[in-house]
């Protein structure tokens, strides 16, 4: 949902923000206009509104907060890339763009990639991956309880440390492969082969979403498979 929200907002911002009369008045920390603070508030509201409603039902669903945080980081990344895809070729992402504040970036095949994109892409997706894995585990527990007709707590064969290691093993491939996805998505938004900016935006969103969704699903499968094996061993011992 936030992916869609971020994409639409990036498109709208690319159309409207250049005409915002106060865009050059950087009154917050000497770097942001008040408009940017309003955007931040919207992203936080969109990201955490579902988490707040779910936490009212159960305070133990910590993965809901992880999913909200990961989605918010992801959303900032997507929104910024869609913005520059919409503004192309009038405004190009480069060393002088606002997104390079403090952290700079590097060139790849003539395309500028800000360091913050790696932080938002890798960090956001990694946090969301943990939430996705935990929610998958919870879904299996719910189905198991329904079939047995009694409460059951699967995956008890591991200690907390072993569980944390299993999470890391499940998402490590995800974290590694997200780096070239960040590079590819950032480069796609500037390719001259796309006939219109709308096609460019679709290419950006697809390059970011499709491979990461597949990796996310694979990470969850790796974790759940190892969890089932450990549970089976504990039952047989």
Q: What is the pLDDT of residues 208-235, one digit of tens each?
A: 888 888 877 776 666 666 665 555 444 4
Looking at per-residue pLDDT, the higher value among 196 and 167 belongs to 196
Q: What is the pLDDT of residue 188?
A: 93
DSSP string, 106-165: EEETTEEEEHHHHIIIIIHHHHHHHHHHHHHHHHHHHHHHHHHTS------SS-HHHHHH
Whether the predicted pLDDT of 199 surpasses 90 = yes
Q: Does 156 score more than 60 pLDDT?
A: no
Residue 107 forms beta bridges with which residues? 112
Best mean pLDDT range from 94-98, 126-130, 223-227, 230-234:
94-98
Please list the alpha-helical segments (H only) found in the chain: 2-16, 34-55, 62-87, 115-118, 124-148, 160-188, 197-236
pLDDT for 56 equals 43
pLDDT at res. 1: 65
Q: What is the DSSP letter of 32?
A: B
- Quick check: 78 and 3 in contact, CB under 8 A? yes
Given a cut of 50, whether residue 33 has pLDDT beyond it is: yes
Least confidently predicted of 96-105, 123-132, 164-173, 210-219: 164-173
Instruction: Give residue 187's pLDDT band: very low, low, confident or very high (50, 70, 90).
Output: very high
103 phi/psi in degrees, rounded to 5: -100, -15
Share of the chain above pLDDT 90, in %: 17
What value, to the nearest 5°, has the Cα angle with vertex 4 and ends 14 and 216?
125
Bigger pLDDT: 165 vs 60 = 165
What pTM did the predictor assign? 0.75
Tokens of 191: 């390719």
Per-residue model confidence (pLDDT) at position 9: 79
Q: What is the dihedral of CA 115, 72, 55, 41, to 10 degrees?
A: 120
């Amino acid at each position: 949902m936030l992916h869609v929200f971020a994409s639409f907002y990036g498109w709208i911002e690319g159309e409207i923000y250049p005409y915002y009369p106060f865009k050059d008045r950087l009154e917050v920390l000497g770097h942001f206009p008040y408009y940017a603070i309003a955007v931040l508030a919207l992203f936080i509201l969109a990201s955490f509104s579902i988490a707040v409603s779910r936490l009212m039902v159960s305070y133990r669903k910590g993965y809901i907060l992880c999913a909200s945080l990961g989605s918010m980081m992801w959303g900032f990344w997507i929104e910024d890339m869609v913005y520059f895809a919409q503004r192309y070729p009038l405004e190009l992402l480069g060393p002088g763009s606002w997104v390079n504040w403090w952290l700079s970036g590097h060139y790849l095949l003539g395309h500028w990639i800000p360091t913050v994109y790696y932080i938002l892409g890798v960090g956001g997706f990694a946090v969301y991956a943990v939430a996705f894995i935990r929610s998958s585990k919870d879904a299996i527990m719910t189905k198991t309880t329904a079939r047995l007709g009694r409460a059951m707590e699967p995956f008890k064969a591991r200690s907390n440390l072993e569980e944390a290691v299993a999470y890391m093993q499940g998402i490590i491939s995800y974290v590694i492969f997200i780096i070239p996805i960040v590079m590819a998505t950032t480069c796609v938004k500037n390719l001259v082969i796309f006939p219109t900016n709308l096609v460019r935006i679709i290419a950006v969103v697809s390059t970011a979403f499709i491979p990461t969704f597949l990796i996310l699903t694979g990470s969850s499968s790796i974790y759940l498979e190892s969890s089932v094996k450990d549970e089976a061993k504990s039952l047989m011992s």
